[in-house]
């Protein structure tokens, strides 16, 4: 069974640009959540999607958005990038009856 | 609200030493509790979990017991190895709503010296 796949693994962007990150969950999993990891703030919840609907949202500005497709793959978008958006972005997928979530390896975003 | 507090690191131990990483939580409902491990440059890997009070999660020699009376979920290992060097995160989720929204502690870096 393939794990959670995040692409790309590394990204370098310039301030003011936008970026799209992708997450393919484990086959059969319909829930995908996203987290931002930084040395200062630790792991912070961004949002969670289930069956193409956003179910939960963390406390991030509107520049952070996401969506989920009918095949459960999810994307998150960050517009008007700021230096402080530099982070490791992790996604996690969860099955309907599972009691745990499985994380991808993350996308390392550097904003210069 | 929900939150997790874990001991500050780094923790430096010699190989074969005993490990304890403290974790306490605050929760509005009946949370599930987890320990995740992160190796350099990697995502999070589930180490162990417990879904109700008095459950003991165990894996690869690591153990943690869900203590509702002390709201704790301390991670222990009897004899650490150099390969255990990593960052450990305590986390909770509230299954009343769904399992895929986690509250994480700040992480504890473990360094094991040969």
- Kindly write down the DSSP assignment for every residue of A67-88, as one continuous string: EE-TTS-EEEEE-S--GGG-EE
Beta strands A102-103 and A107-111 are: unpaired
Q: pLDDT tier at A36 (50, 70, 90 boundaries)?
A: very high
A-chain residues near B107 (CB < 8 A): 42-43
pLDDT tens profile B57-113: 999 999 999 999 999 999 999 999 999 999 999 999 877 666 678 899 999 999 999
Q: pLDDT tier at A81 (50, 70, 90 boundaries)?
A: very high
B-chain residues near A104 (CB < 8 A): 43
Q: What's the half-sphere exposure (Cβ side, CA atoms, 13 Å) at B14?
A: 0
Mean pLDDT confidence for A75-101? 90
From the list B104, B73, B80, the residue with the least C-alpha distance to B12 is B80
Angstrom distance (rounded) from CA A56 to CA A44: 13
Phi, psi torsion values for A91, nearest 5 degrees:
-120, 155
Q: pLDDT tier at A60 (50, 70, 90 boundaries)?
A: very high
Of A33, A98, A103, which is closest to B101 when you measure between CB atoms? A33
**Measured between CA atoms, how close is A107 to chain B, in angstroms?**
9
Looking at residue B79, its pLDDT comes to 96
Look at the alpha carbons of B47, B38, B5, A89 in this order and tell me if their dihedral is positive or negative.
Answer: negative
B-chain residues near A98 (CB < 8 A): 99
Q: Does A2 have pLDDT greater than 80?
A: no
For chain A, the residues whose C-beta falls within 8 A of a C-beta of chain B are 4, 6, 31-33, 35, 42-43, 45, 48, 50, 55-56, 90, 92-94, 98-106
Judged by DSSP in three states, B7 sits in coil
């Amino acid at each position: 069974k393939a794990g959670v796949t995040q692409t790309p693994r590394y990204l370098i962007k310039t301030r003011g640009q936008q970026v799209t990150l992708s997450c393919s969950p484990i086959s059969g999993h319909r829930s995908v959540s996203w987290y931002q990891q930084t040395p200062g703030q630790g792991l912070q919840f961004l949002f969670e999607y289930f069956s193409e609907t956003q179910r939960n949202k963390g406390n991030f500005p509107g520049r952070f958005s996401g969506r989920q497709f009918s095949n459960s793959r999810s994307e998150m978008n960050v517009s008007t990038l700021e230096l402080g958006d530099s982070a490791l972005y992790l996604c996690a997928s969860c099955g309907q009856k599972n009691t745990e979530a499985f994380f991808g390896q993350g996308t390392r975003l550097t904003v210069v | 609200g929900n939150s997790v507090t874990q001991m500050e690191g780094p923790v430096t131990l010699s190989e074969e030493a005993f490990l304890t990483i403290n974790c306490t939580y605050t929760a509005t409902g009946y949370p599930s509790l987890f320990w995740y491990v992160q190796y350099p440059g990697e995502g999070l890997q589930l180490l162990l979990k417990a879904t109700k009070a008095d459950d003991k999660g165990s894996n690869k020699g690591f153990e943690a017991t869900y203590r509702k009376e002390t709201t704790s979920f301390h991670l222990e290992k009897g004899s650490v190895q150099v390969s255990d060097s990593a960052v450990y995160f305590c986390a909770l989720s509230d299954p009343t709503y769904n399992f895929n929204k986690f509250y994480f502690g700040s992480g504890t870096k473990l360094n094991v010296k040969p």
